[in-house]
Chains A and B, each alone.
Chain A
Amino acid sequence: MTAKTPSSELNSAFESYWKLVDDESAAISKGKAELEEIKIRSNESSTVYACRFAGVGGYPLFAYYSVPKGKGPFPGLLETPGYGSVRGVPGVERRAKYAVMAVCHRGQRLSDSGYKSAYPGLMTEGLPDAGSFRWRDIVADSLRSFDVMLARPEVDRARIGIAGNDVAAICAALRPQTKVLLFNGQFLFRDTPRRLDAISDYPLQEFNDFKRTHPSQWPKASETLQLYDPVSFAPKIKAETLIACLKSDVAPSAPFASAIKGKCETRVNSGYGYLDHESQEHWLQDRLGA
């Protein structure tokens, strides 16, 4: 399977849409970020902070930020938010190796003072318009957290990684400082409009619900979703990338993998969760030099 070249019309819309998001994020990149230790979460190997800063539109955001004990600088790892109301405390294992930034996007718990996301509901919130699609904010919040992490003095700017699914890929494309991308989990936006018939599980089933309920709005919604397809970002991703792929995502992952500019490897998950997890974490550690 080869990557389908986006039309020039889509290319133009894609570039202008994400330039605006990037510009909005860049405009606040020097904004204040406050750290406060969360003593109950700090342990023998890492110190955990509540990191508070403003996102686009002045929205108050919360992130967990943890720093290994000892002398830095440390490799930085951005854990991008996935679909779900809870953004957990970064795992003890990663915290011992990396400075980890884990943002709660607006609407997730701890970043929900102004608005609360709904589950189900978040996947299609704001559709069909690209300007009001909620995932635009989620990407912007993630970019903002990347910039906060990059500005930290204890973070080694030469060893920056991002881990997550579609939002991670988008951030890696829009932040060329990223050296390593660990793409794991389920694709949210990869060729989604064309794959709907094969989808019956949530959260992607939300798209089918939207299409059934708002058939006249679906063509426009599909155009919006195309703006989020990781394959469109792939040529901008210079980071060395591991796609740890679910068996169900083998076919849609191929065009994404082949279009990534940096070195890219795809590993199909074995289904043995422990082995898959270990394989991914070792790959990450080898590349970030933790």
Chain B
Amino acid sequence: MRSTPEVEVFEARYDSYGGLEIAGWYCRPRVHKGKLPGMLFVPGYVSEPKLPTDLAMMGYATFSAAPRGKLRSNSDFNPGYPGLLTHNMDNHETYGYRGFYVDAVRAFDFLVGLPEVDPARIGVQGGSQGGALTLLVASLRPDRVKAASAGAPYLCSMLDAASLTRSYPYEEINDYLRLHPDRKDKVRIALDYHDIHNFVGRITCPIIVNIGLRDDVCPPETGYALFSAIGSKDKRLYPYENCGHDAGSGIGHNPIMNRFFAERLQPEPVRRP
């Protein structure tokens, strides 16, 4: 029902950490010459993973993952929203994001393994939680990711972020610690293990990051600190004044991002009949 004359749409499933089966949408141009550049799209916190037909129309074989807890991947793990951010947050071994992170990296491996995808031309993109997962994948697959774009990245400097905002999802941490103040030390340890800030020194690919300077969801202070820690020499920050969590998407950042990927991954856009 979702495929069109230009784009083929597949529901995909792959195995991940703890034996869980994870779902995703895979879209690719119906007609193409040779191997396709690949794109991993990773989702935000509350949104369901998008059906990435728009990226397939741009010429990318695109995988849009639904990590555990998202619909279609939540039969064995379903902390809900709110819930995921603080699920087992006082134990770094069982914290909810542990498996969730693996799901994102496994999604990348799944895309790399598809025969029609050129493993030398794969990008990663997402906003908010998707921005965090983009940075994570670029950190843990530095020899594979060719280009990455992270918007309004979440899950970095998490305790600091929670002290800077009263907006959800970080407000979940404030809610949790208000009820369980005695657990703060354990929470700090678990979050340190999962803080994206602590991964990004490994990134080597070209990368762009966009942030909103009035973002009350993912405070820009954490975005600046994260950007400084990124290991890649080919990195660029786009800070947008008077923008919130939209981080410039309403005033022209998306074309910048599209050009960034097109120059590095060389897709052939699909022509409409």
Residues of A at under 8 Å CB distance from B?
39-41, 43, 84-86, 88-89, 91-93, 109-110, 116, 118-120, 200-202, 205, 209-210, 212-213, 269-277
Contact A93 B50 (CB under 8 A): no
| Residue in A closest to B176 when the chains form the complex, CB atoms | A40
| Residue in A closest to B45 when the chains form the complex, CB atoms | A86
A272 CB to nearest chain B CB (Å): 4
| Residue in B closest to A200 when the chains form the complex, CB atoms | B54
Q: Which residues of B contact A269 (CB under 8 A)?
A: 250
C-alpha gap A118/B4 in the complex (Å): 20
Contact A39 B167 (CB under 8 A): no
Q: Which residues of B contact A210 (CB under 8 A)?
A: 1
Q: Which residues of A contact B179 (CB under 8 A)?
A: 39-40
Contact A91 B51 (CB under 8 A): no
Contact A272 B48 (CB under 8 A): no
Q: Which residues of B contact A120 (CB under 8 A)?
A: 2, 51
C-alpha gap A205/B174 in the complex (Å): 38
Pick the residue among B4, B46, B245 that contacts A86 (CB under 8 A): B46
| Residue in A closest to B171 when the chains form the complex, CB atoms | A92
- Judged by a CB distance under 8 angstroms, whether B113 is at the interface is no
| Residue in B closest to A201 when the chains form the complex, CB atoms | B54
Contact B167 A91 (CB under 8 A): yes
Task: Given A109-B81, A273-B212, verify A119-B167 contact (CB < 8 Å).
Answer: no
Q: Which residues of B contact A276 (CB under 8 A)?
A: 250
Contact B175 A93 (CB under 8 A): no
A45 CB to nearest chain B CB (Å): 9
- Judged by a CB distance under 8 angstroms, whether B141 is at the interface is no
Residues of B at under 8 Å CB distance from A?
1-2, 4, 46-48, 50-51, 53-54, 57, 71, 80-82, 166-168, 171, 174-176, 178-179, 212, 214-216, 240-247, 250-252
Chain A contact residues: helix, strand, loop or mixed: loop
Task: Given A88-B81, A91-B168, A119-B71, verify A275-B47 contact (CB < 8 Å).
Answer: no
C-alpha gap A184/B49 in the complex (Å): 23
| Residue in A closest to B252 when the chains form the complex, CB atoms | A271
Task: Given A271-B250, A275-B242, verify A202-B51 contact (CB < 8 Å).
Answer: yes
Q: Which residues of A contact B246 (CB under 8 A)?
A: 271-273
Task: A91-B167, A272-B241 are known; give 11 further A-B pairs, CB within 8 A.
Answer: A40-B178, A86-B81, A92-B171, A118-B71, A200-B53, A202-B50, A202-B53, A209-B2, A270-B251, A272-B243, A275-B242
C-alpha gap A118/B167 in the complex (Å): 27
B63 CB to nearest chain A CB (Å): 16
Task: Given A86-B46, A273-B250, verify A116-B71 contact (CB < 8 Å).
Answer: yes
B33 CB to nearest chain A CB (Å): 24
Q: Which residues of A contact B215 (CB under 8 A)?
A: 274
| Residue in A closest to B50 when the chains form the complex, CB atoms | A202
C-alpha gap A274/B213 in the complex (Å): 9
Q: Which residues of A contact B216 (CB under 8 A)?
A: 274
Nearest 3 A/B pairs, CB to CB: A271-B250, A273-B246, A274-B214
C-alpha gap A88/B244 in the complex (Å): 18
Contact B80 A109 (CB under 8 A): yes
Residue contacts A-B, CB under 8 angstroms, 5 given? A39-B179, A41-B82, A200-B54, A272-B250, A272-B251
Pick the residue among A40, A88, A91, A213 that contacts B175 (CB under 8 A): A40
Contact A92 B250 (CB under 8 A): no
Contact B243 A273 (CB under 8 A): yes
C-alpha gap A273/B246 in the complex (Å): 6
| Residue in A closest to B246 when the chains form the complex, CB atoms | A273
